[in-house]
Amino acid sequence: LAKTTQPISMDSYEGQEVNITCSHNNIATNDYITWYQQFPSQGPRFIIQGYKTKVTNEVASLFIPADRKSSTLSLPRVSLSDTAVYYCLVGALNTPLVFGKGTRLSVIA
């Protein structure tokens, strides 16, 4: 049973805000929500992590509703360099990250 479900792909124009939603209906009390970005032929890079409500850093925001059964990664004003695969991961902090299929974001000029 997959822990997370996210859209396979998304397209966006440069300068737009992109929101990628992830469903995790079976999230456990100890689970955190973490998002990673991966460019072709590179290792994944950490974007953001949260447990509940809203988390913001210099590159993204993460919105988590009260029931924690989903989360939304928000990328403000995307550029061509944001074209990548974005992974939503759910798990306890002391467990290895298990990747789902991810969302392939294509940013168009």
Chain contacts with another protein (rule: CB under 8 A): 36, 41-46, 49, 87, 93-94, 96-102
DSSP bridge partners of 50: 33
Note whether 22 and 88 are within 8 A (CB). yes
Backbone φ and ψ for 75, nearest 5 degrees, come out as -110, 115
> Between 61 and 101, whose beta carbon lies closer to another protein?
101
> Between 80 and 98, whose beta carbon lies closer to another protein?
98
Note whether 74 and 62 are within 8 A (CB). yes
Minimum Å distance from CB 98 to another protein?
6
> Between 16 and 30, whose beta carbon lies closer to another protein?
30
Measured from the Cβ of residue 19, the count of other Cβ atoms closer than 10 Å reads 13
Minimum Å distance from CB 55 to another protein?
14
